[in-house]
């Protein structure tokens, strides 16, 4: 698989470490240049926006550097763990520079599974997000199909038996793709016990193959963008609980 990954590696980031800020900046360009991947992100951003409080107010995006959410929602507060062009704030998700109840929502795409201590993040979000506010995210998800894909075709660790912590490495190389599933499904009772101020409003598995065929942010696309509509229609016919590679997760801050 290493040979295939090297063969299909996107030329813009080939040879760069994922912890290099240049990689994050280039990934924004990759998403915009690949029609299929851009369409996927546009759909994800739409799902997140639809879940935000009616009065969007102050919305913080964590891990903004590789995406283009600010073009869809210009008032969003962009942030990243290191400086990268186009990001307003350098911040650690475990120590957010906001006053109590200062935020209406925290959103992220493909970021939660990189946070080394998600318990600390959820506690910090509890402090910063007002009652009625939201945490909304799109994250990798565990199904029989996705576990095979993430284990055999993806460079990041995917460890369903692990805990809530990720061993310290680099800011982006530290990861566990199974972490969202661990917290919100496997350990749902623990999540509810530790964080009663958060209610899991919606958890929707989605997208069994579209992202894989897009090549994501690391590989070349395997399908043209004009096939996005038919591809998404075909995906909708599959049993998402068994085949999805991602999940839309919406949490609401209780009073």
pLDDT at position 1 over 60:
no
Q: Are 161 and 147 in contact (CB under 8 A)?
A: no
Number of domains into which the chain is organized: 1
pLDDT at position 160 over 60:
yes
DSSP-based three-state secondary structure for 90: strand
200-243, pLDDT tens digit by residue?
Answer: 999 999 999 999 999 988 888 989 999 999 999 999 999 999 99
Q: Mean per-residue pLDDT for 15-25?
A: 82
Range of the domain at 170: 2-253
Residue 191: pLDDT band with limits 50, 70, 90: very high
99-128, pLDDT tens digit by residue?
Answer: 999 999 999 999 999 999 999 999 999 999
DSSP state letter for 112: G
The CATH number that applies at residue 145 is 3.40.50.150
Q: What is the distance between the alpha carbons of residues 159 and 186, in angstroms, rounded to a whole number?
A: 12
DSSP-based three-state secondary structure for 139: strand
Q: Are 129 and 106 in contact (CB under 8 A)?
A: yes
């Amino acid at each position: 698989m290493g040979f295939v990954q090297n063969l299909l590696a996107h030329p813009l980031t080939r040879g760069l470490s994922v912890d290099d800020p240049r990689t994050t900046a280039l990934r924004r360009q990759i998403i915009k240049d690949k029609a299929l991947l851009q369409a996927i992100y546009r759909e994800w951003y739409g799902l997140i926006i639809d879940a935000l409080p009616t009065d969007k107010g102050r919305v913080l995006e964590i891990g903004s550097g590789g995406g283009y959410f600010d073009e869809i929602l210009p008032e969003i507060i962009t942030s990243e763990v290191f400086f990268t062009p186009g990001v307003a704030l350098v911040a650690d998700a475990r120590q957010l520079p906001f006053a109590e109840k200062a935020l209406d929502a925290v959103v992220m795409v493909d970021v939660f599974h990189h946070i080394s201590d998600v318990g600390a993040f959820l506690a910090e979000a509890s402090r910063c997000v007002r009652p009625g506010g939201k945490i909304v995210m799109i994250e990798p998800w565990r199904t029989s199909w996705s576990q095979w894909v993430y284990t055999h075709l993806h460079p990041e660790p995917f460890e369903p038996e692990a805990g809530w912590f990720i061993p310290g490495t680099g800011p982006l190389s530290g990861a566990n793709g199974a972490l969202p599933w661990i917290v919100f499904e496997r350990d749902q009772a623990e999540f509810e016990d530790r964080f009663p101020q958060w209610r899991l409003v919606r958890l929707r598995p989605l997208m069994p193959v579209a992202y894989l065929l897009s090549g994501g942010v690391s590989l070349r696309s395997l399908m043209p963008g004009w096939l996005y509509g038919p591809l998404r229609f075909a995906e909708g016919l599959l049993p998402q609980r068994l085949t999805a590679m991602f999940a839309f997760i919406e949490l609401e801050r209780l009073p």
